């Protein structure tokens, strides 16, 4: 988010981006000599070779490296690691401490692998192909590798109209365009999250889906890069990496010929399975940049309660800070004692509290600002190019310094600040953490020779625009209260790290990599510079914040929501999609955004700012967005200080839409919680595009306006502005209306739904599912956990079977003492429920609902005994049979229809 005075400069600068990006004629690059493979040593599970320049150097963006080292390792049955480095130079690689990589299975090798590595000696090229079918998945044939100090190039051929997904973060379509398309990876503060531009985070992984299978390619490189997809070169469709540093460090994933979710599980083996989050975090969150004082915050809490809308967690943006300084409260507008009163009120009502914490610390020598003084004493700030003085930027507090997450003392510093400021006894007892501006963002325009002057010009920190409230004003209708190890760093002395010879298409400003962020020549404690590590800053802050939260609440799961991410971030934290606009385009594109994060990059605790962050929403847009947002894993309403208020209770239509949406969401929370547990266990995606479930149906490959919430709930929101009509694609399967359980027979075509009012979203259950639902919604997740279950059986089209699962524990412990895992299986009129019931549910199974029942059965049995007729009801109009049970949910049971 930008200050108002800086926003116009940022928007103008974006218009100038094209002048900075490098165009390289593909024919010139393909004419480079490449390399010859020599001294090949093939040990089966591992292959090594020297790669020697095969002719006259191209030197397109620097001098070609004359000799490289190739290392190919079969790491598992489904993963091949291909690494190309310069053996004579200590080049930067993504540190193991930031992204721990898996070890190779010593028994892996080509004889047991589902994919294989093949190569040509001269000129050197390589390919990856399926062992069973010999289908080529990746091939550098006719595209020589280029390896220079600040430019690496690898190019592969693709099928025509290739289905490529990933390469985020972006706001483009979920299936990426293949026509003259460039995907740039370089973290930046991307106000408005525009199309076609680099945004906050970087995930250099793509999945390619074909009717013959799905595979993945991950480049473990954190340097800036352009990845180009093109079909205009006369050689078919290609994908090309153009990287400005580091090494070529590829992981090739076999995926599966039948199950697309398998490639996601294999990618999780590299970057880590997603984190489990607290049960309460699936409730509704409310925030705003622009709450003027503590009274505003208290009134929002009260108004949600009065409207009967479940509010689980209240958030506060940077408004609460004293002069925008982290780890402070404004004594006049957000006095500590009144804020503690708000937190106590929330906790006494089974609600939660979260605050914003930015990385930039106010540069305040001699001002007795503890966080700055303690960081200076510990010497943990990111350094300027001289390696001694702190690097200075200009952010919300004015001139700032930045923590160096590579410094081994920074974690202790950060943990101490969290324990002190967020102390339950003397500070603000937060339940989760929110971190922003961690690209890292700076408002200082390049070249930022005088951050003090730029801070003055931009009026940082901004002045308050309203008078302070009465410090003793009553709230909630109550009377006021009484008063790391250092490694050898790569040598960049001969490199131009401010303006590298190959200029990636960085859209922040006119192209300089250092614009509005930490300079690329800023130095870390271990000697690494931001040129190499820039894209890691947000994820490293995320990890430090995760650890700080663990230290202040040992043994408890954390909720940390970040803006900037790199591969592997989801193993610790969640994310929101950034500073979107209150318009229908951003509403729609959020679907592709959450699918990318949750379905590809393994950051499943994700959501967009509901109703939009910037500009003014409308009643109908906010109503539609409340409905869609109920199916984001992370559900938060949040907007900017320059926008109108948009809490769900502001308009009657939006209020009803929110209530309807939250009723469905809360009944499904245990289903979602189970999906998160599965993701933590093996990397199975929490959200899925339709083609994950229907991989042979080519009509699904480009759909990103519908998605599967968990494995079995199809969400099909109305997309068009102020419309009540939506085209819903139903693959060849049974689907069931979530509310009525009426069956819909999918035939592989779209169905137009009309009269979808602004308080309704089409939600259906995919055939073949058994869903454990809470029988009713509640105002808090604490009350929800005391509510009975009902079980919905939705048979599949093919054989009438269905299955599902449920996982329960205490909802907060990292390692729960007990848990309950239940499986549901339905076949030929028999539902079998069995599992281990170590965690006491404390509730009943109120009923079982059988969808697609043709007629009332002759009899119904529960554990072999007849169920009385008054407990059996048949809805012939919708084909639903309800069997009332009312039994404690603590043991196995069987329900049979005859």
> Which sequence positions are flagged as catalytic?
436, 439, 579
- Cα–Cα distance measured from residue 474 to residue 789, given in angstroms and rounded to the nearest whole number: 40
Per-state percent for the chain, helix, strand, coil, to nearest 5: 20, 30, 50
Closest of 865, 801, 806 to residue 831, by C-alpha? 801
Distant-in-sequence contacts of 159-164, Cβ < 8 A, 24+ apart: 159/210, 159/236, 159/237, 160/231, 160/236, 160/237, 161/237, 162/208, 162/229, 162/237, 162/239, 163/208, 163/209, 163/210, 163/691, 163/701, 163/702, 164/206, 164/207, 164/208, 164/229, 164/239
What one-character-per-residue DSSP string does 664-731 give?
Answer: HHHHHHHHHHHHHHHHHHH---SEE-HHHH-TT-GGGTT--S-EEETTTEEE----STT---EEEEE-
Separation between Cα atoms, residue 514 and residue 508, nearest integer Å = 9
Name the packing angle between helices 410-421 and 370-378 (round to 10°). 160
CB 616 within 8 Å of CB 600 = no
Of 247, 257, 195, the residue nearest 222 (C-alpha): 247
User: For residue 492, what are its two tokens?
Assistant: 């960049």
Structure tokens at 208: 């390619």
Burial of 496 (0-12, 13-18, 19+ CB in 10 A): middle
Among 102, 94, 53, 95, residue whose Cα is nearest residue 77: 102
Neighbours of 57 (CB within 10 A): 16
Return the residue matching tokens 């594109």.
Answer: 589
Q: What is the CA radius of gyration of the chain?
A: 28
Contact 772, 822 (CB under 8 A): yes
Q: Listing from the earlier edge strand, what are the strands of the sheet with 146-148?
A: 146-148, 151-158, 237-243, 225-230, 181-185
Task: Count Cβ atoms below 10 Å from residue 176 Cβ, excluding itself.
Answer: 20
Closest CA to 789 of 811, 803, 802, 770: 770
Cα atoms in the 13 Å half-sphere on the side-chain side of 262? 17
Q: What is the C-alpha separation between 311 and 354, in angstroms, rounded?
A: 13
């Amino acid at each position: 988010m930008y200050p108002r005075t800086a926003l116009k400069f940022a928007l103008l600068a974006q218009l100038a981006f094209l002048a900075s990006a490098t165009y390289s004629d593909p024919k010139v690059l393909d004419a480079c000599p490449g390399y010859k493979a020599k001294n090949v040593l093939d040990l089966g599970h591992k292959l090594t070779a020297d790669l020697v320049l095969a002719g006259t150097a191209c030197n397109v963006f620097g001098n070609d490296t004359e000799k490289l080292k190739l290392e190919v390792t079969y790491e598992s049955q489904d993963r091949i690691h291909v690494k190309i480095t310069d053996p004579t130079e200590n080049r930067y690689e993504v540190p193991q401490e930031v992204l721990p990589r898996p070890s190779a299975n010593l028994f892996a090798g080509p004889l047991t692998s589902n994919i294989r590595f093949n190569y040509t000696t001269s000129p050197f090229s390589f390919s990856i192909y399926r062992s069973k079918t010999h289908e080529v998945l990746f091939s550098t044939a006719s595209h020589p590798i280029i390896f220079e100090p600040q430019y690496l190039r690898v190019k592969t051929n693709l099928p025509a109209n290739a289905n490529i997904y990933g390469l985020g973060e972006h706001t483009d379509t979920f299936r990426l365009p293949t026509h003259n398309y460039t995907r740039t990876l370089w973290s930046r503060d991307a106000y408005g999250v525009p199309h076609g531009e680099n945004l906050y985070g970087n995930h250099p992984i793509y999945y390619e889906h074909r009717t013959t299978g799905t595979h993945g390619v991950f480049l473990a490189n954190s340097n800036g890069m352009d990845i180009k997809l093109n079909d205009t070169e006369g050689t078919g469709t290609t994908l090309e990496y153009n990287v400005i540093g580091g090494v070529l460090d590829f992981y090739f994933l076999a995926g599966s010929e039948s199950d697309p979710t398998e490639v996601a599980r294999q990618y999780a083996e590299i970057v880590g399975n997603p984190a489990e989050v607290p049960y309460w975090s699936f409730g509704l969150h409310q925030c705003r940049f622009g709450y003027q004082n503590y009274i505003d915050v208290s009134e929002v809490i009260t108004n949600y309660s009065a409207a009967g809308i479940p509010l689980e967690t209240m958030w506060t943006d940077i408004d609460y800070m004293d002069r925008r300084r982290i780890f402070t409260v404004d004594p006049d507008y957000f006095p500590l004692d009144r804020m503690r009163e708000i937190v106590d009120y929330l906790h006494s009502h089974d609600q939660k509290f979260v605050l914003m914490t930015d990385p930039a610390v106010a540069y305040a020598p001699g001002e007795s600002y503890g966080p700055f003084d303690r960081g200076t004493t510990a010497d943990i700030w990111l350094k300027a190019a001289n390696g001694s003085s702190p690097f200075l930027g200009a952010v919300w507090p004015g001139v700032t310094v930045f923590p160096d997450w590579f410094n081994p003392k920074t974690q202790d510093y950060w943990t101490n600040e969290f324990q002190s400021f967020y102390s339950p006894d003397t500070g603000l007892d937060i339940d989760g953490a929110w971190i922003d501006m961690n690209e890292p963002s700076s408002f200082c325009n390049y070249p930022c020779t005088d951050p003090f002057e730029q801070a003055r010009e931009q009026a940082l920190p901004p002045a308050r625009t309203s008078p302070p409230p009465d410090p003793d004003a009553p709230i909630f209708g109550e009377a006021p209260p009484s008063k790391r190890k250092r490694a050898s760093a790569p040598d960049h002395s001969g490199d131009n790290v401010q303006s590298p010879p190959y200029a990636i298409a960085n859209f922040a400003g006119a192209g300089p990599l250092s614009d509005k962020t930490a300079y690329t020549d800023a130095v870390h404690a271990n000697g690494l510079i931001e040129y190499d590590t820039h894209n890691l800053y947000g994820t490293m802050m995320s990890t430090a914040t995760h650890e700080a939260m663990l230290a202040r609440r040992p043994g408890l799961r954390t909720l940390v929501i970040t803006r900037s991410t790199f591969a592997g971030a989801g193993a610790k934290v969640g994310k929101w999609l950034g500073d979107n606009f209150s318009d229908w385009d951003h509403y729609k594109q959020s679907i592709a955004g959450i699918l990318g994060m949750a379905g590809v990059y393994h950051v499943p605790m994700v959501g967009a700012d509901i109703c939009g962050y910037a500009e003014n929403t409308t009643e109908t847009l906010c109503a539609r967005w409340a409905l869609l947002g109920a199916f984001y894993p992370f559900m938060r309403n949040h907007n900017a200080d320059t926008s109108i208020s948009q809490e769900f209770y502001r308009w009657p239509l939006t209020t009803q839409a929110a209530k309807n949406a939250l009723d469905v969401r809360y009944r499904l929370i245990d289903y979602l919680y189970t999906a998160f547990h599965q993701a933590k266990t093996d990397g199975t995606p929490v959200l899925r595009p339709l083609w994950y479930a229907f991989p042979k149906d080519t009509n699904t490959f480009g759909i990103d306006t519908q998605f599967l919430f968990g494995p079995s709930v199809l969400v099909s929101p109305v997309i068009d502005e102020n419309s009540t009509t939506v085209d819903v694609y139903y693959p060849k399967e049974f689907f069931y209306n979530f509310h009525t359980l009426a069956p819909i027979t999918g035939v592989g075509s779209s169905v137009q739904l009309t009269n979808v009012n602004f308080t309704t979203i089409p939600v259906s259950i995919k055939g073949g599912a058994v869903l454990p639902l809470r029988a009713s919604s509640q105002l808090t997740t604490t009350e929800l956990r005391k509510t009975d279950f009902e079980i919905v059986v939705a048979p599949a089209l093919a054989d009438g079977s269905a299955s599902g699962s449920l996982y329960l524990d205490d909802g907060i412990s990292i390692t729960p003492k007990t848990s309950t895992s239940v499986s549901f299986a339905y076949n030929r009129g028999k539902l079998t429920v069995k599992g281990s019931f170590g965690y006491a549910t404390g509730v009943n199974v109120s009923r079982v609902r059988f969808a697609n029942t043709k007629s009332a059965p002759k009899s119904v049995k529960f554990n072999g005994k007849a169920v009385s007729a008054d407990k059996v009801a048949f809805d012939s109009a919708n084909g639903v049979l309800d069997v009332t049970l009312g039994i404690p949910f603590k043991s196995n049971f069987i329900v049979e229809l005859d």
